[in-house]
Amino acid sequence: MLNSIISEFIIRTAQAQESPPPVLAVPTGTGVTEQGTLFTFVGNIVRWSLGLTGVILFVIIIVSGFNYATAGGDTKKTQDAISTITNAVIGLFIIGFAFVISNTVLSFIFGL
């Protein structure tokens, strides 16, 4: 009796299985799409890297502000914190301009 139940389960399970997806296919329902070209991929990489760099520079500004606030009157620590904040703000401006320029170039050349 148990053997017939197990074999019936195995047979029904084998019959119910669908054919496997094609090789290198993206599963459905994951939010990942296969659409796009090399240019959209490069554009996304540029945008993400500039955004990540901006976030890192913002964190550096926050940490340097904390170092400035906790310098305790030590002029060396204060000057180091001010220098780091100044450099990070300059870096943010450079990243901002790079973001604008890269978006302009990507939209004019590649139509992204």
Domains of the chain by residue range: 51-112
CA distances (Å), origin 79, targets 63, 68, 76, 84, 94? 14, 8, 5, 9, 22
**Using one digit for the tens of pLDDT, what is the confidence trace for 7-51?**
666 666 655 556 666 666 666 666 666 677 777 787 788 888 988
**Using one digit for the tens of pLDDT, what is the confidence trace for 61-91?**
999 999 999 988 889 999 999 999 999 999 9
Report yes or no: 34 and 76 within 8 Å, Cβ to Cβ: no
State whether the Cα torsion 78-79-84-90 is positive or negative.
positive
The set of residues, in sequence order, having a beta carbon less than 8 Å from that of 47 and lying 6+ positions away, is 99, 102, 103
Could you give the residue ranges of the DSSP H alpha helices within 17-110? 38-69, 75-105
Q: What is the pTM of this model?
A: 0.60
Instruction: Name the nearest CA neighbour of 103 among 56, 22, 46, 39.
Output: 46
